[in-house]
Structure 1
Amino acid sequence: MATSDQRKFLATTDWSINDLGEPSYSSDRLPAFRDGLTSNPDGYDLHLFVNVSWVPSATTEPVIEFTPSFVWWLGLITRSNETMYRTNHAGRDEEVVEIVRPNPGEYEVRVNARHLRKYLAARSMSLVIQHAHSRADDSVHEARIDLEIRTKDAAFAYTAWDAYRGPGFVAQLVGKQAVLPFASAGEHPDDLQRPERFQSFIVDIDPSTGDEVRLSCERDEANYLTPVFFDTDVLTRYRDNPDRYTVLRTDVSCHGRWAIDVDINGANLVQVWLGHLIRLPETEREHWLTHNVPPNGGITITRSVRDLAGQWVEDERPDPARLRRAKAELIEAFTGYFGESLYKQLGPADLRAFDALALCTNPTEGQSDNGVMVLSKGIVDALDVKTLRESSGADTNSPSLACLQLLVENLGADPNGLVGPLRQLQGIRSAGSAHMKGTKFTTALSAAGLNSLQPDKQFETIVDRVTMALQGLSELFRRTPPQV
């Protein structure tokens, strides 16, 4: 209902809507077909918001549907349990609709008031809720009761009378209330309709006092390339949600929402340019602010040459993205040599995990264990053992890494550097990451020379070694003349 028609609608307490949500056809009116989305009972338009209907062929429970404009404007996504949520511009989920079914045939629809009132403001409408409640009891009253309650937002009539053909009293409450829109909706559902707040970040320490020096992230060309530092845990929330975020050594992005360039320096801190923080939504900057730390470790050479000198240099530091490129190049080189692929296709879930694999963002064993398992599936488990047996001449019972080692030896190369890192990966995964840790896991780490490192650095080292092994295998297959 248009907000301007609210007074007309609330002039009576009786229900005014009888045909919304019910498409119909009649030959005595124009247009003959009514879609059930609008109604005009008293000279003003009413629009459907939510409809509850029984569809016996589809379900034994009533079906609850919202008008498409509400779903589309907020970009609502429906879960299997009927709840509806949206993803805001910062990439976070916001609950909007909850449907509760306490007993068969019963239902309760709950809608987030803030999102509802923003939607109403966008359409310049008020939402009307119609009520009809009745109750009977054994109490005795001598007189009939008739009351009306009216405000600018509601109109109710209460009536109570002697029960027909029996003792007791019957009471009924009938009426309507309006849910008002906000004063303004803004340009989109995430519009805060106020000036943006620009947080101030630590950029230095005053040498004379030890106090933190802070600068606002509001655009200022003089301070645009001022380095700002964060602990790596700032990236954990993104690394732990690969369906929503992509974490690389060079940037972090929320799919379709925002992206920011980053770097990780020798002190294991995430470095960002002050001027780039404006690329983050205001609410997301609050998360980064909690992980902001004083400068330490400086800016890497790679970052300096690329961003300050404007020259491209290859980044040779450990990086799962670099590892994925190395695997792709190995597949191409092996296929060019043998005419068959070295790897089987990963299943959808394993492929998503491998494509989203990132460096650890904290020193917990959980992150490292998960990374080792994903890496092992993508690099070792996915090897096509049948192809390797045929290309190496190994017997039919040889496992994939034994076949790969024999193939490397057949081509005159040293398998220690080309297959050894893959064996280390498989050994660490088998001894601990996929099972209960014990002496075998400690032995596997010691054999790989990793026992003195924190779990995050262990994983980083494994990624680096496997990457170099894959690159070495690619070079081997490219430089060796194909067998005739």
Structure 2
Amino acid sequence: MRKFRPSDLQPICLPQAGNEAAWLGGAEDSNDFLRANALADEIVIFAVGPAVLIVGVLALTEKLTPPDGEELQNAIVYTDESWKIQRSYGGGEGHRVYLEPPFESPSCPSLSGGEPLVHRRSLNGVQKGPPPIEMSQKLIHCLDLYYLPERKAYCRLDARGDIEDVIRIVALDLPDTWEGREVVTILRKDLDVYMALAGMSLVLKFDFTRVKHESFNGWDDSRRYDQTETDLFYHGGGNGTASYANGAMIVRPDITPQELVQEFKDDLEPGKKEYATFKIYDRKNKKNVETSCSPAHIVSYFERSDLPWQISPAFFRPEVLVKYKGDPEKYTLEDRSIMCRGAWYLKGYDINEEGQVHVYMVDLARLPIEEQRYWQLFNEWPKSDISARAHQTDILGEWNTGYDPLNALKHKISKLDKGNYAWWSPRGDEVAGAVRYPATDSPKEWADEILALDQLLVEGFLERPLRKLAEATGRSLEDGWRAMKLIQEIMIANGRSAAEAKAVMTPMLELHGLRSEIRGHAAIQRKKAAVKNARTEHGNFRAQFADITSGCDKALEEVLKVLGVTLQD
């Protein structure tokens, strides 16, 4: 789809170098933009600039069939046109107060019952500068759009969870000093749906006037003309040094309500949806097979069939998770689920002993086909069974009561956040959500998770309040001591030996030191040594991370005891 560009309007707003005379006399040429605009994927419904004014409104299609071109040309449409509380009296009807819809002028019955799309209004004497642009709330709500100021657009999430600009407000960067040079566009497919269901069509009122104001003397000697085409009506004039074209254009919806109903029916047809094929372990028949995740190729546990069960797992290389971990704004990656904003939700994934990610076929089938194909790229035959946790919860239907160090640590910190402790800076859900087990054998992913864990735990302790607590115990402190050392001193003051205090704090100190080695400005050799040590001692980064997290969880428990904190569930 080609988007509207401000440069599309520039040739009809201002003359190009060397063609000023031809441009001044060629206002009628601006109608070529309207003709192209009516066929565009993104259609301009409002524009204001030098020599250009376009205002789009909706009118009942039945009142435009056949159209009264002369009436539409002469109609006056203002951007402050809207519903209002009207007060009147006389005419034999007495005093009345009522709601008056827009376009009720008897001079243009063609627009009666129509709707404005773009509003520009301001609070007189208060708001300075050009009036802000507002959109029809009826249109916005029907299309389920939301204004995002940073994009200057009314947006929604598409099927992939990406932000889609449906209505854009585009500033015209032109070499003049006037403010408020803006264009409003809307995706044609969305406008068509709304118009079809509302029984309306778009009427674009336009005025293209090209003059040199310092030498313009009026239109008395102009050549006048009237032009009528299919759904395009305009009149104009020119005298060689100035010209204008003024009129109206009708843009009718390209889809009917009946076609929308058929699209809805097609979406509900199971055979219309695409499904990807995966290598799986067929739990029922106890063999590896390759099959589609379509409902026609997998069955529930209770159905009599030789087809694989819906809970047959497919296995994937751990790199499949990298995309989701790398874009936390778009994806919410939980311990056993992934959500893409409001677009899709994948539940029940886990990682087995061989480091493979596994997902049940029934859950893969619920993903959009593009997402299924992404997972398909990482699909491989199983190297072991599903995780013990998944077997316990998903197959046996039992609660998982096993110890998970990261979940345990996050739980403690969540409780700590809710307390009012001077020495603790609440970490919040965003910081906690950023910490996950490494899934791959990538040193960078491991380093990122070590950094996130350090930010969650170690950076939560505040040095100044801890120093005050340590000073209150009578311990002799050095100026350069940081939070971890200060906590050790508080432990010693509370009866722990120096060796015991150091042993308690060792996991946190190792975590903070490891962060400096692999994420800071340490020498390359030190980084390589840290990576080698993690792989040698633990086998993989995930196991190393679990080990250091377990140590930190137990250390935090001891620290809280010393600081007199009891966390309530």
Normalised by the length of structure 1, the TM-score is 0.78
The corresponding residue for 1:22 is 81
**What does residue range 226-237 of structure 1 map to in structure 2 within 5 Å?**
226-237=312-323
Task: Determine the C-alpha separation between the residues in 2 that align with 1:241 and 1:31.
Answer: 59
- 1:263, distance to aligned residue in structure 2 (A): 0.6
The corresponding residue for 1:261 is 348
- 1:227, distance to aligned residue in structure 2 (A): 0.5
Q: Is the CA contact (8 Å cut-off) linking 1:117 and 1:181 kept in structure 2? A: yes
Q: Does 2:114 align with 1:51?
A: no
Identify if the C-alpha distance between structure 1 residues 480 and 132 changes in structure 2 by more than 3 Å, giving closer, same or farther: closer
The corresponding residue for 2:198 is 123
Match of 1:438 among 494, 512, 524: 524
Q: Is the CA contact (8 Å cut-off) linking 1:21 and 1:36 kept in structure 2? A: no
Match of 1:202 among 257, 272, 278: 278
The corresponding residue for 1:383 is 461
Task: Determine the C-alpha separation between the residues in 2 that align with 1:98 and 1:191.
Answer: 31
The corresponding residue for 1:354 is 432
The corresponding residue for 2:22 is none
The corresponding residue for 1:426 is 512
Identify if the C-alpha distance between structure 1 residues 457 and 275 changes in structure 2 by more than 3 Å, giving closer, same or farther: same
Identify if the C-alpha distance between structure 1 residues 263 and 444 changes in structure 2 by more than 3 Å, giving closer, same or farther: closer
The corresponding residue for 1:450 is 534
The corresponding residue for 1:3 is 61
Q: Is the CA contact (8 Å cut-off) linking 2:60 and 2:199 kept in structure 1? A: yes
- 1:419, distance to aligned residue in structure 2 (A): 1.8
Task: Determine the C-alpha separation between the residues in 2 that align with 1:62 and 1:131.
Answer: 20
Identify if the C-alpha distance between structure 1 residues 58 and 241 changes in structure 2 by more than 3 Å, giving closer, same or farther: farther
- 1:226, distance to aligned residue in structure 2 (A): 1.0
Task: Determine the C-alpha separation between the residues in 1 that align with 2:197 and 2:447.
Answer: 48
The corresponding residue for 2:208 is 133
Identify if the C-alpha distance between structure 1 residues 81 and 193 changes in structure 2 by more than 3 Å, giving closer, same or farther: same
Specify the SS of the correspondent of 2:165: strand
Identify if the C-alpha distance between structure 1 residues 54 and 403 changes in structure 2 by more than 3 Å, giving closer, same or farther: closer
Specify the SS of the correspondent of 2:185: strand
Task: Determine the C-alpha separation between the residues in 2 that align with 1:330 and 1:54.
Answer: 49
Q: Is the CA contact (8 Å cut-off) linking 1:158 and 1:172 kept in structure 2? A: yes
Q: Is the CA contact (8 Å cut-off) linking 1:84 and 1:95 kept in structure 2? A: yes
- 1:63, distance to aligned residue in structure 2 (A): 1.7
Q: Does 2:401 align with 1:306?
A: no
Q: Is the CA contact (8 Å cut-off) linking 2:438 and 2:542 kept in structure 1? A: yes
Match of 1:85 among 155, 159, 162: 155
Q: Please, what is the CA RMSD of the aligned residues?
A: 4.2
Identify if the C-alpha distance between structure 1 residues 481 and 21 changes in structure 2 by more than 3 Å, giving closer, same or farther: closer
The corresponding residue for 1:242 is 328
Q: Any idea what the Cα deviations from partners look like across 1:100-150, whole Å, max 9, x if unmatched? A: 222333212222222322333343432222222234699xxx995635333
The corresponding residue for 1:399 is 482
Identify if the C-alpha distance between structure 1 residues 440 and 301 changes in structure 2 by more than 3 Å, giving closer, same or farther: closer
Q: Does 2:376 align with 1:295?
A: no
Compare 28-37 and 320-329 and name the one that shifted more: 28-37
Match of 1:109 among 184, 193, 202: 184
Q: Any idea what the Cα deviations from partners look like across 1:289-320, whole Å, max 9, x if unmatched? A: 444333333311221121111122334456x4
- 1:380, distance to aligned residue in structure 2 (A): 0.8
Identify if the C-alpha distance between structure 1 residues 428 and 78 changes in structure 2 by more than 3 Å, giving closer, same or farther: same
Q: Is the CA contact (8 Å cut-off) linking 1:50 and 1:67 kept in structure 2? A: yes
Q: Any idea what the Cα deviations from partners look like across 1:32-74, whole Å, max 9, x if unmatched? A: 5666656464164111111234667434234211101222232
Q: Any idea what the Cα deviations from partners look like across 1:356-382, whole Å, max 9, x if unmatched? A: 322345554544343333321221121
Specify the SS of the correspondent of 1:299: coil
Match of 1:182 among 249, 255, 258: 255
Counterpart code for 1:5: K
Match of 1:60 among 129, 139, 142: 129
The corresponding residue for 1:94 is 164
Task: Determine the C-alpha separation between the residues in 2 that align with 1:217 and 1:284.
Answer: 14
Task: Determine the C-alpha separation between the residues in 2 that align with 1:244 and 1:370.
Answer: 18
Identify if the C-alpha distance between structure 1 residues 361 and 160 changes in structure 2 by more than 3 Å, giving closer, same or farther: farther
- 1:174, distance to aligned residue in structure 2 (A): 1.8
Identify if the C-alpha distance between structure 1 residues 64 and 437 changes in structure 2 by more than 3 Å, giving closer, same or farther: farther
Identify if the C-alpha distance between structure 1 residues 46 and 82 changes in structure 2 by more than 3 Å, giving closer, same or farther: same
Counterpart code for 1:42: P
The corresponding residue for 1:42 is 109
- 1:2, distance to aligned residue in structure 2 (A): 3.0
Task: Determine the C-alpha separation between the residues in 1 that align with 2:452 and 2:561.
Answer: 28
Specify the SS of the correspondent of 2:200: coil
Q: Is the CA contact (8 Å cut-off) linking 1:88 and 1:94 kept in structure 2? A: yes
Task: Determine the C-alpha separation between the residues in 2 that align with 1:280 and 1:252.
Answer: 11
Match of 1:76 among 146, 150, 173: 146
Q: Any idea what the Cα deviations from partners look like across 1:138-190, whole Å, max 9, x if unmatched? A: 9xxx9956353332xx22224445x3xxx657352422222415324869x99
- 1:97, distance to aligned residue in structure 2 (A): 2.3
Q: Is the CA contact (8 Å cut-off) linking 1:149 and 1:156 kept in structure 2? A: yes
Identify if the C-alpha distance between structure 1 residues 423 and 36 changes in structure 2 by more than 3 Å, giving closer, same or farther: farther
Identify if the C-alpha distance between structure 1 residues 235 and 129 changes in structure 2 by more than 3 Å, giving closer, same or farther: farther
The corresponding residue for 1:469 is 552
Compare 8-17 and 100-109 and name the one that shifted more: 8-17
Task: Determine the C-alpha separation between the residues in 2 that align with 1:330 and 1:178.
Answer: 61
Please list every run of 5 or more consecutive structure 1 residues that lacks an aligned counterpart in the other structure. none
Identify if the C-alpha distance between structure 1 residues 372 and 10 changes in structure 2 by more than 3 Å, giving closer, same or farther: farther
Q: Is the CA contact (8 Å cut-off) linking 1:10 and 1:176 kept in structure 2? A: no
The corresponding residue for 2:299 is 220
Q: Is the CA contact (8 Å cut-off) linking 1:327 and 1:470 kept in structure 2? A: no
Q: Is the CA contact (8 Å cut-off) linking 2:279 and 2:314 kept in structure 1? A: yes
Counterpart code for 1:241: D
